[in-house]
Structure 1
Amino acid sequence: MTYTNVKSGESLTFETNGSAEIISAPDADNVVTVTATGSYGLILFPSDLPQELTPSAIQYTGRIVYTVDLDTGVFTLLSSSGQQQDICAALS
């Protein structure tokens, strides 16, 4: 997986040795829970939660759990474990 800073042209590439994700059925509020393991990139926008982590682009190697509100498109990162690298900081 390669991330590129379009202003500077600098890139950062990660070997993706595989990943898996389990997505729950929507709950009564039309929210799904995603559990992802392995090499996984997650990009959060200012509308996502928790707001202290947004905006961000993080490459995880390990396990993350987040929800997606299918009505609003809001992602909420619930937990992460393992290694993580801040892509924005690395490419700034």
Structure 2
Amino acid sequence: MYCYGKKTRFTTKIKTEIVLSLLRGESMEAASRKYGVTIADLSFWRDQFVEHGADGFKRKPDDSRLKEAERMIGKLQMELELTKKKNELVAKLKRR
């Protein structure tokens, strides 16, 4: 029996083991009690596993963090281009 806290994150390996036990015939109710996971979560995990295999359990990057990183990259690229142009102008003025 697993003893997990209320907000425990299960590893891909443990989720796979739990889902395989369901596919072998263990009831949702028994698995829910045994592992301390809601039936809704078990059903979701089972569906993910059937559709995507164990890869369905891997965490996806947070879209908001990804978008923020892309925005920052764009900003930095613009700053770099402006700095290059500024340096070219300064070099031209010094040659005069």
| TM-score range normalised by the length of the shorter chain | under 0.3
Structure 1 or 2: more strand by fraction: 1
Per the normalisation by structure 1, the TM-score is 0.22
Query: Normalized per residue, which structure has more helix?
Result: 2
TM-score using structure 2 length: 0.21
Bigger Cα Rg: 2
